[in-house]
Amino acid sequence: MSRTPSLSPLRILLCLPLIGAPAASAAAQDTERQDTTAAPVRVQPEKEEKELRPVGPVDSASVLFDGRVLFAVRGIPGFPAGDRADGIADRIRQLARDRSFDLGALNTREANLGIEIRAGDELLFTVTHIDAELVGIPRLALADIYLDHIRDTVAEYRADREPRALLFRGLFALAATVVLVLVLLLLRWLYRRSLSVVERRYGARVKDITFKSVQIIRADSLRKLIDSSLRGLYGLTVLSLVYVYLNGVLGLFPWTRGFARSLLDLVLDPLRTIVLGLFGYLPNLLFIAILALVTRFLLRVIKLYLSSIARGRLHIRNFEPEWAWPTYRLIRIIVLAFFVVVAYPYIPGSGSAAFKGVSIFLGIIVSLGSSSVIGNVIAGYSMTYRRTFKVGDRVRIGDEIGDVREIRLLVTHLRSPKNEEIVVPNSVIIGTNVVNYSSIARREGLILHTTVGIGYEVPWRQVEAMLLEAAKRTEGLRREPPPFVLQRALGDFCVTYELNAYCDDPHGMFALYTALHRNILDVFNEYGVQIMTPSYEGDPEEPKIVSQDRWFESPASSPESQRHEPAAQSSDGPSSPPAETPSGSDPA
């Protein structure tokens, strides 16, 4: 039965909520497709009602035509809403392109499945009772509304593609482009002009912001802030003008009208997604924030406790104060690792494949590039707890001698006697012999030693006495324990004597060596003994020996004179040698 379409006031009122309803119902679209141009199947009404009932959740899709939403339809079992909407849009598009078709031939016809909307004798689609349920109005009224909407849309589709209309809109777009270029050039001139005016009038007035002689903001920072503000205002104005231009020009042509309508959404959709995502992740972010506060409080408590140990206010048995800060850093790494493990499932996007891929990639990079770093960190902690040295010690690491200034996890900083900074990786220190001049010197003193080579013609007792006298004259050497002399070698041309003396200041060892060498030279010159090792060229006329009557030449003293002389000697007399060693026994 054919009906002539008519517009009643009731139907006009029913059209108003229809425009917004399809956009809210366009949710899910499937992929299967079915041809609806076939003749409807004649079945009993009670069976039709049962078969057209949607199964499960509501399946609806929007019919898109020429970049706009016409209306929404629902799916039925075996025919998803997305496929149905695509088929309806294709048939309306074919109808619109056929300019020979009279839009007055659009009509509605009641059938067993619903109200059919036809283009002459060709079926466009059927408005079913489940489509009416989606909008909430009767099928007949909904079919009339759809028919009027299709007629108006097709008429507008044909009018937009008229050659005369396209020519007029093309000229309008060209004029708008010219105006945009002129306005952008004017804005560029105004922007540069404003920069020069601000710099000329206010550049000299911009000064540093200070509070009680404390500089808060520098003048050049304020100038950069002003320039950035003007640049931002200029950029925002340009972007607004370009958006208005694109939205207007692209909206003139039917092929780009859909893009023009979604142009603002291209910018707002990411922002909307970010904001909605943040709101969705608020519970997780709140959990992470609370966990971060608890972790921070725990680290503060641990730091306060270990700082008391480092300052000597708190003592723990067998725990050195210098271990406090390395221990805190180690505990902090463990606590932060535990925080990351607990917070990881609550991080936004942690379950996505992209997040996992980036995590694996970063893990590979760290594992390949941080082997030496991890080795230095482990070496740094090993040195700390092994007490190899501490800050302030005079040490020798390999060929480098210096005072320890700072011990870090990766490297150790030394200052050489020549005021040079030496940076040594901790892994190198672990694999190298380290000499610490200060560790034992604090308790027992550091032994400074130097050697001289004296010919065989000089009595050894005299040489030892002169060396001990030189040590006695050197300021800074300890008297107790007393200095002593060792005969290190009986060479081919000389006897090698080694003078050993104790000192309390390892940092002044080079100055003490200098003073000791000066005194050795002075004493040997006073007693006429040359410090020179002759090379052998031939047998001398007389053998290079020391006769017994010269054994105790000055400043040496014989055992008989030592028994008769008082223990306390005059200040200018020679100092007594230490207890005789096997090399110092009297051969007589």
Give 3's strand partners.
Answer: 108
**Side chain identity, residue 52:** L
533-562 pLDDT, tens per residue? 656 566 566 655 566 677 677 787 777 666
Q: CA quadruple 347, 348, 351, 356: dihedral positive or negative?
A: negative
Contact 485, 468 (CB under 8 A): yes
- Strand spans (E) along 9-102: 60-65, 68-74
516-525 pLDDT, tens per residue? 999 998 898 8
Angle at 80 between CA 79 and CA 86, to 5 degrees: 100
For 216, list phi and psi in degrees, rounded to 5.
-95, -50
What is the crossing angle of helices 353-369 and 371-386, to 10°? 60
Contact 550, 498 (CB under 8 A): no
Give pLDDT tens digits along the chain (588 positions).
333 333 333 333 333 333 333 333 333 333 333 333 333 333 333 333 334 444 445 578 888 887 788 888 888 777 788 888 899 989 998 988 888 888 888 888 888 888 889 888 888 888 888 888 878 888 888 888 989 988 898 888 888 888 888 899 899 999 999 999 999 999 999 988 888 887 777 766 666 666 666 556 676 777 778 788 888 899 999 989 998 998 888 888 888 877 887 777 777 788 888 888 778 888 888 999 999 999 999 999 998 888 888 887 888 887 777 778 888 888 888 999 999 999 988 887 777 788 878 888 888 877 776 666 676 677 767 776 667 788 888 998 888 889 988 887 778 899 988 888 899 888 788 778 888 888 888 778 899 999 998 888 888 999 999 999 999 999 989 888 899 999 999 988 889 999 999 998 888 889 999 999 999 988 988 888 888 665 656 656 665 556 667 767 778 777 766 665 554 444 344 444 443 333 333 332
Report the Cα 31 to chain-centroid distance in Å: 44
Q: Which of 163, 159, 184, 154 is nearest to 91 (CA)?
A: 154
Q: Which of 285, 291, 293, 287 is nearest to 349 (CA)?
A: 285
445: left (phi over 0), alpha (psi -120 to 50) or beta: left
Rg (alpha carbons) of the chain, rounded to whole number: 50
Angle at 338 between CA 426 and CA 364, to 5 degrees: 60
Distance between CA atoms of residues 416 and 423, nearest Å: 11
Distance between CA atoms of residues 332 and 335, nearest Å: 5
In the three-class reduction of DSSP (H, G, I as helix; E, B as strand; rest coil), residue 547 is classed as coil
Helix (H) / strand (E) element for 517: namely helix 509-526
Pairing of β 484-490 and β 495-503 = antiparallel
For 335, list phi and psi in degrees, rounded to 5.
-65, -45
Alpha helix (H) residue ranges in 460-508: 460-473
